[in-house]
Chain A
Amino acid sequence: MTDLDALQRDALAAVAAAEDLDDLERVRVTFTGKRSELAAAQKGMGSLDADERRRRGQALNAFRQAFTSAFDERHEQLSDAALRARLEAERLDLTLPPRRVPPGRPHLLTQVEHEILDVFIGMGYRVAEGPEAESGTYNFDMLNIEPNHPARQEMDTIYVDGFDDVVLRTHTSPVQARVMTAEEPPIAVVCPGRTYRADAVDATHSPVFSQVEGLVIAEDVTMADLRGTLLAFARSLFGADRQIRLRPSFFPFTEPSAEVDVSFEGSAGNHGWLEILGAGMVDPNVLAACGVDGDRFRGFAFGIGIERVAMLRHGVHDIRELFDADARFLARF
């Protein structure tokens, strides 16, 4: 007969000595599996008399209970230990920056353009676009810039070869002419886009630059409306405490015409005015050329240089940086 007491001592000692769950499982098989001493002891039960069998049965149950209890306890201990070990092994240094391709940035000119457009969209404007290689009729004639008007030469136009009169548009005003000829007032549009002048590249000049021009044609618009609109724009872009001032100027397509300055307060306590755009009441000749009834409708127009706004607002001192696509510059904004 198997000495159950001895077996229990050995079994409990083996359970206690098991170092991991696999080890523990081997102990279970060894002591309670099909070919264990316990199994053998159970097989021998049939040859015993009833009393003996009952006692033996109770002893076996006691053994099983003791073993199971020790096993479960040890199993929980080892499971906990295994989980702790895994968690420890899985530790990540989450203070490290992630390895990934960072998203790109929209170009500063795009950001400023969108910001300007969105200000005017908020005031009820639509966005209109047109071609960059443009008919001289739209770019000049319909805007009251006659062929030998000095302004036409001063604009340093780049001409397209092989056409009588196709130019790289010198401003986005031809889009206004296209809108006026195609649509009935009231009109409120902003026209963004690339524009061109025959300027050699240096720190302050670029043969390609960008504008947002605006046009409002309605029955009762006034120069005061123009001023209020530009004030709202300047405050939206530069800060709510800004002022603007209008200075008389000359543009062929507006009369009266104004250059518009925005106030600034420097960090050093200096303050003054910075020129940011040109504007005016649409010249009657432009209205007539574009088929707008000048007796019934009036209009105002303005033109904003995106590069200038971007450079002033973001401290860019060399216009070339906007067109050189240096990734450090692009990623900065």
Chain B
Amino acid sequence: MKLPLSWLQEFVDLHLPLDELLEAMSLSGLEVEDVTTPGGGAAGIRTARVLAWEPHPDADKLRVVRVTGDGGDGELELVCGASNFDVDDVVAHALPGGYVPGVTGPDGRPGLTLEARTIRGVVSHGMLASAKELQLGDDHSGILTLAPETALGVPLEELLPLGEPVIEIAVQADRGDHLSVLGVARDLAAILDTPWRVPEVPSLPEPESLPLSVRTDGCAAFLTWSLEDVEVTTSPLWLRQRLAQCGVRAIDVVVDVTNLVMLELGQPLHAFDLDELRGPALTVREASDGETLTTLDDRTRELVPGDLVIDDADRSVSLAGVMGGAETEVSADTTRVLLEAAVWEPTRIRDTSRRLGLVSEASQRFERGVDPHGAQRALARAAQLLRDLTGARSTGGDEVRVDPPVGWAERPTVELDTGRVSATLGLELPVERQRQLLERAGATVVAGDGEAGDAGGAGDEGDVGVSGRAGDPGDAGDAGGPGDLVAGSATLLVTPPSWRRDLLRPADVTEEIARLHGYERIPATLPALPVTGGLTPVQRLEREARELALAAGFHEAVTRPFVGEDALLGVAPSEGRVLLANPLAKDASAMRPTLVEGLLQALRRNHGQGRPGTALVELGRCFRPVDDELAAVLDGVVVDEWRWRSPAGEDLPIQPRVLALAAQGLRLGDGWLDLDERWSVPDLLDVVDRVAATLAPPDDATWRLERMPVERDGFHPGRTVALLFHGHEVGLAGQLHPTEADRRDLPEPVVVAELLLEPFLAAVPEGGYAPISARPIVRHPALSVDVALVAADDVPYATLERAVRAGAGQLLDEAWWFDEYRGEQVGGGRRSLAIRLRLQAPDRQLTDEDAERVIEAVAREAEEVGATLRR
């Protein structure tokens, strides 16, 4: 809402400097978005009379004009492109050296300092300005012409309020009263504790008994006012300027007056051409299903029950509260006008406006709620202006007030416990202070029964207050003194003013008191919280998992979790997608089913920036439909409830926490002649294993991830493994297939891995895992034993290691592979893995016989899993 300062001042006295006013507004709920000064800086522009003009000898569309000179004397010649003027018109003449704020300057921004210049052979001494060039509106169809009696040679800024501040505020959803100059002025009066005033308006003329009927509870009041002898002309400059300052386009005097009154008083008005109204009679009713209405913008609107329409004697003529009908629109030929003002139910107007995608100045006000008692004043104000501006005569007025009043237009009384207000704010506010603040806001305040109160005089309206009196807020406002504390609590019955729809409950009234008292006066204290805080064991483990990936050289990425149709799939792939009903873009039509696609796109961007290698980790949620195959995985590995549900018990999309890694290019050694190390799948598996080991219960061998070679779309068939936990795929690691890497324009190798964290995190007990207990350090020297096991390629290492562990039993401290051999000696499709065992015993030095026994036992265990010990 744009508010010209001078307009506000018509309703409230503002004696403080602009910056202080703006500060006071910001701190009191009037959020200032911008302050502009349209026409600001205008200089060297004088009124002048056109003495003569003739076509430019060398240009069809230009005129050479002679006007009175500076000071009204002499004459000057200039060139002008407009043709909407004639001899004797008074115009705005910008002289050489003058500054015209609305003309684009050489720097591309508004504002130009003029110089005398030659246009097609004629020297032009300045220019004649249009309204737009003076920032008085957007009219650029011709130059500005002023009233013929205007004095000549007068600086324009003395005649027109150029450069006057216009304050733009953001209007809160619950403060419809801020959508008018009067409303903001009234609130400023409450904030600054100063009086406000409204314009004097005539009362409704004698009824003309126009048949009006209201057949819906969506209308609280419906009033009309008829005028004749209306001359539909262009509005006077001051009116056009007011509209321009508020960003509203001038049309004609009738429409402009209705808009002006709406901006001024907050009540939207509609003007019908009375001669086009059949009957004339008006009926307000609910639309029936499928009926249509052509609105002022010449679009045919299809209506549904719930919409409100206004009919004349035999057709609908207006979409109530949103936009008038085209057929009864005021035109240049109109001489009789019916002004209509009504109060519509906010939710209905909002629904209609939203459904039709039709937002008007009127609908915006009605949906936030207008003052139910403001309609008549607005109607009278408009009639008064039309009388003054066009000589129109009032012929009659009619009014329908819905009786009994509809509930939504009521302003119920709030029973306020003032002690509770103080307790909520953490600030002792005396009863009288609270009462004064509410009265400043326009509320009617009387004492309640005194149930809650121990304040003296409760029950007697005149005696509620203990100290202070209206207009003396300074004393009462400085709360905190012991005397004030005694003021204690009382019950106040607060009836909000008709223009405040937002004061319905004690909490609302509490905010109003705090707002007008000043949020700045609320002290800063810390609550004594009777709780203990901290991260849960799960939350600590999640942070640890991230640290492990970072330590391995992966930077953490946060990517946008949307994907298009052709996302690469990671762990537990499925076709299932959580689609968005209103996606922002075609390539963001669904939530990510896995995290790998986002990371691959990030790799591509980094490669595009010329990076030789990038490694990224992301922790976040992936999304799958309720019945996705991933549900079976989670059912299989998560003991507890893992689904999120609505309060009604409906399953929400599956959205487990996931850790994903992606890397491409050089791991180490960019430019080094002796080193060329690239990111590989084992680098990722290393992180995934460490994360799994860290999140798993300590010392629980059943929590190992099994690796199973798999073939997947987009992945290298020989370099991809699924990570199984209790037989379910909870992770995937692999290298992109060469064609997939090529399709993404990424140099090979490109490697990705993904691990579902949910199975691990869900297993952590509320108090965390039991502390890890120390193992005694064995003092006797360890014995190293190497074994070589030959097994087919489909026997995973983990199986062989298990055989080794089983064979070595209690003596084993550690085991790890150190060599892989393939070749004729072991046969095709097989490999020999050399594994070193470090053996120890707590009570003795191990001997060669111990080693022999272990080797034989390993040999037996190896046979069990289809491997043989190579002797």
A residues apposed to B, CB below 8 Å = 99-107, 109-110, 114, 117, 120-127, 130-135, 137-138, 142, 148-151, 153-154, 158-163, 165-166, 168, 181, 186-188, 194, 198-201, 206-208, 210, 216, 218, 220-225, 227-229, 231-232, 245-250, 252, 255-259, 281, 283-284, 298, 322-328, 330-331
Contact of B555 among A159, A222, A281, A331 (CB under 8 A): A331
Q: Does B652 contact A (CB under 8 A)?
A: yes
**Taking A225-B525, A255-B507 as contacts, is the C-beta distance between A198 and B581 under 8 angstroms?**
no
Residues of A within 8 A of B351 (CB): 148
Contact of A326 among B354, B424, B591, B606 (CB under 8 A): B606
A157 to B, closest residue via Cβ: B582
Q: Does B411 contact A (CB under 8 A)?
A: no
Residues of A within 8 A of B175 (CB): 250
**With A and B bound together, what is the CA distance between A187 and B527 in angstroms?**
12
Contact of A228 among B174, B524, B561 (CB under 8 A): B524
Within 8 A of A (CB), among B416-445: 423-427
Complex contact A105–B533 (CB within 8 A): no
**With A and B bound together, what is the CA distance between A208 and B387 in angstroms?**
55
Residues of A within 8 A of B652 (CB): 131, 133-135, 166
Stretch at the interface among B68-76, B543-551, B824-832: B543-551
Complex contact A126–B536 (CB within 8 A): yes
Complex contact A218–B527 (CB within 8 A): yes
Complex contact A198–B584 (CB within 8 A): yes
Q: Does B224 contact A (CB under 8 A)?
A: no
Interface 1/0 per residue, B690-718 and A, CB below 8 Å: 00000000000000000000000000000
Q: Closest approach, in angstroms, between the C-beta of A225 and any C-beta of chain B?
A: 4
Residues of A within 8 A of B614 (CB): 327
**Taking A160-B579, A324-B605, A325-B558 as contacts, is the C-beta distance between A104 and B424 under 8 angstroms?**
no
Q: Closest approach, in angstroms, between the C-beta of A277 and any C-beta of chain B?
A: 14
**With A and B bound together, what is the CA distance between A327 and B29 in angstroms?**
43
Stretch at the interface among B326-334, B455-463, B514-522, B804-812: B514-522
Complex contact B525–A224 (CB within 8 A): yes
Residues of B within 8 A of A257 (CB): 511
Contact of A123 among B26, B515, B529, B669 (CB under 8 A): B529
Complex contact B368–A158 (CB within 8 A): no
Complex contact B347–A148 (CB within 8 A): yes
Q: Does B360 contact A (CB under 8 A)?
A: no
**With A and B bound together, what is the CA distance between A117 and B535 in angstroms?**
9
Complex contact B519–A248 (CB within 8 A): yes
**With A and B bound together, what is the CA distance between A305 and B653 in angstroms?**
25
**With A and B bound together, what is the CA distance between A231 and B655 in angstroms?**
35
Provide 25 A-B residue pairs closer than 8 Å at the C-beta atoms, listed in order of the A residue: A99-B668, A106-B550, A110-B558, A120-B533, A131-B621, A131-B644, A132-B621, A132-B623, A161-B580, A168-B580, A207-B588, A210-B558, A218-B530, A223-B424, A223-B425, A227-B426, A227-B524, A228-B525, A247-B519, A255-B510, A298-B424, A324-B605, A325-B602, A327-B606, A330-B555
Complex contact A149–B539 (CB within 8 A): no
A153 to B, closest residue via Cβ: B354
Q: Does B672 contact A (CB under 8 A)?
A: yes
Residues of B within 8 A of A222 (CB): 423-427, 525, 527
Residues of B within 8 A of A125 (CB): 529, 533
Question: Can you name 4 extra interface pairs (CB under 8 A) apart from A159-B581, A247-B31?
Answer: A103-B550, A106-B556, A325-B558, A330-B616
- In the complex, how many residues of chain B place their beta carbon closer than 8 angstroms to a beta carbon of chain A? 98
Complex contact A218–B529 (CB within 8 A): yes
**With A and B bound together, what is the CA distance between A68 and B315 in angstroms?**
134
Contact of B582 among A159, A181, A256 (CB under 8 A): A159
Complex contact B533–A126 (CB within 8 A): yes
Complex contact A250–B520 (CB within 8 A): no
Within 8 A of A (CB), among B479-535: 505-508, 510-511, 514-515, 519-520, 522-527, 529-535
Complex contact B668–A150 (CB within 8 A): no
Residues of A within 8 A of B669 (CB): 99
Residues of A within 8 A of B368 (CB): 150
**With A and B bound together, what is the CA distance between A328 and B530 in angstroms?**
45
Q: Does B366 contact A (CB under 8 A)?
A: no
Kindly list the 5 A-B residue pairs having the minimum CB-CB distance in the complex, ordered from nearest: A224-B426, A222-B426, A135-B646, A256-B511, A248-B29
Complex contact B620–A194 (CB within 8 A): yes
Q: Closest approach, in angstroms, between the C-beta of A125 and any C-beta of chain B?
A: 4
Q: Closest approach, in angstroms, between the C-beta of A244 and any C-beta of chain B?
A: 8
Q: Does B99 contact A (CB under 8 A)?
A: no
**Taking A102-B553, A181-B647 as contacts, is the C-beta distance between A249 and B527 under 8 angstroms?**
no
Complex contact A133–B425 (CB within 8 A): no
Complex contact A187–B584 (CB within 8 A): no
Residues of A within 8 A of B83 (CB): none
Residues of A within 8 A of B580 (CB): 158-161, 168
User: What's the dominant secondary structure at chain A's contact region?
Assistant: mixed
Complex contact A188–B531 (CB within 8 A): yes
Q: Does B383 contact A (CB under 8 A)?
A: no
**Taking A222-B426, A249-B29 as contacts, is the C-beta distance between A150 and B511 under 8 angstroms?**
no
Q: Closest approach, in angstroms, between the C-beta of B548 and any C-beta of chain A?
A: 10
Q: Does B774 contact A (CB under 8 A)?
A: no
Q: Does B853 contact A (CB under 8 A)?
A: no
Complex contact A124–B562 (CB within 8 A): no
Complex contact B582–A231 (CB within 8 A): no
A259 to B, closest residue via Cβ: B31
Q: Does B173 contact A (CB under 8 A)?
A: yes
**With A and B bound together, what is the CA distance between A156 and B779 in angstroms?**
68
A320 to B, closest residue via Cβ: B560
**With A and B bound together, what is the CA distance between A258 and B525 in angstroms?**
17
**With A and B bound together, what is the CA distance between A121 and B652 in angstroms?**
29
Residues of A within 8 A of B535 (CB): 117, 121, 127
**With A and B bound together, what is the CA distance between A208 and B585 in angstroms?**
14
Complex contact A247–B532 (CB within 8 A): no
Complex contact A224–B556 (CB within 8 A): no
Residues of B within 8 A of A109 (CB): 558
Residues of A within 8 A of B425 (CB): 222-224, 256
**With A and B bound together, what is the CA distance between A64 and B24 in angstroms?**
109
Q: Does B760 contact A (CB under 8 A)?
A: no
Residues of B within 8 A of A255 (CB): 505, 507-508, 510-511
Residues of B within 8 A of A322 (CB): 558
Pick the most buried of B424, B427, B617: most chain A CB atoms within 10 A of its CB.
B424
**Taking A109-B558, A135-B652, A250-B172 as contacts, is the C-beta distance between A101 and B668 under 8 angstroms?**
yes
Q: Does B344 contact A (CB under 8 A)?
A: no
Within 8 A of A (CB), among B109-138: none
Complex contact B520–A245 (CB within 8 A): yes
**With A and B bound together, what is the CA distance between A272 and B172 in angstroms?**
23
Q: Does B845 contact A (CB under 8 A)?
A: no
**With A and B bound together, what is the CA distance between A298 and B424 in angstroms?**
8
**Taking A198-B584, A224-B522, A325-B559 as contacts, is the C-beta distance between A101 and B591 under 8 angstroms?**
no
**With A and B bound together, what is the CA distance between A284 and B424 in angstroms?**
12
Complex contact A131–B655 (CB within 8 A): yes
**With A and B bound together, what is the CA distance between A308 and B647 in angstroms?**
32
B507 to A, closest residue via Cβ: A255
Residues of B within 8 A of A256 (CB): 425, 507, 510-511, 514-515, 519
Residues of B within 8 A of A138 (CB): 646-647
Complex contact B555–A246 (CB within 8 A): no
**With A and B bound together, what is the CA distance between A245 and B521 in angstroms?**
10
Interface 1/0 per residue, B26-64 and A, CB below 8 Å: 111101000000000000000000000000000000000
Complex contact A330–B621 (CB within 8 A): no
Pick the most buried of A126, A210, A252: most chain B CB atoms within 10 A of its CB.
A126
Pick the most buried of A134, A151, A224, A249: most chain B CB atoms within 10 A of its CB.
A224
Complex contact B578–A160 (CB within 8 A): yes
Complex contact A101–B623 (CB within 8 A): no
Complex contact A104–B675 (CB within 8 A): no
Complex contact B514–A223 (CB within 8 A): yes
Residues of B within 8 A of A127 (CB): 535-536, 539
Residues of B within 8 A of A126 (CB): 531, 533-534, 536
Interface 1/0 per residue, B791-819 and A, CB below 8 Å: 00000000000000000000000000000
Complex contact A228–B526 (CB within 8 A): yes
